[in-house]
Structure formats: C-alpha cells, structure tokens
Amino acid sequence: MKRTLAFGALVMLAAVGLVGCIRLPSIPGQGHPAATVPAGTQTTTPVSTTSTLGPDAVATATPATTGQQPSANAVPSAALHTPKIGSAERKAILDTLRPPVQSTLHQPVVFKCDVFKVELGWAFVRGTPVRPDGGKIDYRKTKYKAALDEGFFDDGFAALLRFKSGSWHITKWEIGATDVAWEPWADDYGAPRAIF
C-alpha cells in the first residue's frame, strides 16, 4: 500500500514537472503568452515618419501596414471630441485626406482646421488648405480656376471620414463650395449630427 502511494505521488510530481516545462508561444514584442491575448487582437510595429507639412503632420509613430489593426491610440474614442494636434488619431485622419486633396490641387497642402470633431468612428473636418509655408493655394493651376474667375469659389474645405476595418476612409469631401455643402451629410451617410 505504501509503495502504491509513493509511486502515485512520483507519477503526479513527474506530470506537474512536465506541464511546468511546456511554454506557450509568445507574440513578438508583447512579452506574454499568446493564450492570454483576446481573440481577434492584432499587433502592429510602430514606424517613425517625418513630415514637413506643418503642425497637423508632425512626426509621430505610425503603425506599419501589414494587414493588422492600428495601435490603440489611433483607434477613435466613441465620445465626441477634437483630436489634439500631434495625436496619432488626428494625423491618421489628415493623412487620409491629404492625398486626394493634393492630387486635385496639384500641389502640397497642409490643413488649417476650424472644425475637427470625431464621434462613434466618424470624423468631420472643416477649414482651409494652405501651402506648407502657410501661403495661399494657387487655384489658377487647378480645375477650380473658372469658378474662381466667376466668383463662385470659396477656398474652404469640408470632409467626412469614417473609421472601419482598422483605418480611416473618406466618405465625402468638398472644396470651394460657396454654400453649406455638408448640411445633408448626416442624413445622407448616417453620421452623428454632433460632429457637424
């Protein structure tokens, strides 16, 4: 009987020792076992970027795009707020908006923002595009030249963006409208009225 108990105790100790030697794989750079990461969580590697396009495009850490979700600080808060200048969220929104605006105007731009509101994964930005040195955009080099000559052009811009699938996407943007172009956007796209 004593031998059986002693043998049983040895078998249990060996089993515990074996389990203690098994190590779950870790996610690189995370320092904790994969088993503790919630399902659906994805990781990113920050990459430093530098821009000379003004205060709304300062150097910040930007997630590397490897089909993964952005870091938590780039994911928008559900509450109504204005992202701070230099924040990852503000930079991500303006970096999404900048390429089509620059392509349309055929010149580099920065944005002087008068209104910048985010809520429930929606962002509304309104202001004026300017050159990186702060000077006015030369609209004579753009498709807006005729409207400018006829007095039907305002150099302000407005844009509506939505956060989905881990990044910001432009829903609608306007430049040069002489009326309140964004007035129907809440109804047209289902965006929260508070951001306008």
For residue range 67-99, list pLDDT tens digits in order.
Answer: 334 444 466 778 999 999 999 999 999 999 999
For residues 81 and 16, membership in a common domain is answered with no
Q: Are residues 21 and 82 in the same domain?
A: no
Same domain (yes/no): 81, 14: no
pLDDT digits (tens, 9 = 90+) for 13-44: 444 444 343 333 433 433 433 333 333 333 33
Number of domains into which the chain is organized: 2
∠ CA 121-127-132 to the nearest 5 degrees?
A: 105
**pLDDT at residue number 128:** 96
Contact call for residues 85 and 78 (beta carbons, < 8 A) = no
How many other C-beta atoms can be found within 10 angstroms of the C-beta atom of residue 100? 13
Asked if residue 151 and residue 55 are part of one domain, the reply reads yes
Planar angle of CA 115, 191, 96, nearest 5 degrees: 60
Query: Is 157 a residue whose pLDDT tops 60?
Result: yes
pLDDT of residue 177: 85
Model's pTM, two decimal places? 0.63
**C-alpha–C-alpha distance, residues 73 and 42, integer Å:** 14
Residues 79 and 155 in one domain: yes
Q: Hey, what amino acid is at 179?
A: D
Residues 6 and 70 both lie in one domain: no
Q: What's the rounded Cα separation, in Å, for the pair 99 and 122?
A: 19
20: containing domain: 1-39
Which structure tokens are listed for 194? 């508070």
Dihedral sign for Cα 145, 147, 151, 153, please.
negative
Do 28 and 113 lie in a common domain? no
Same domain, 94 and 141: yes
Q: Are residues 72 and 159 in the same domain?
A: yes
pLDDT of res. 40: 39
Q: 70 and 46 share a domain?
A: yes
Residue 65 has pLDDT above 60, yes or no: no
Question: Residue 195 CA to chain centroid, in angstroms?
Answer: 17
Q: Average the pLDDT over 96-117 and give the result.
A: 96
Specify whether 97 is located in the same domain as 178.
yes
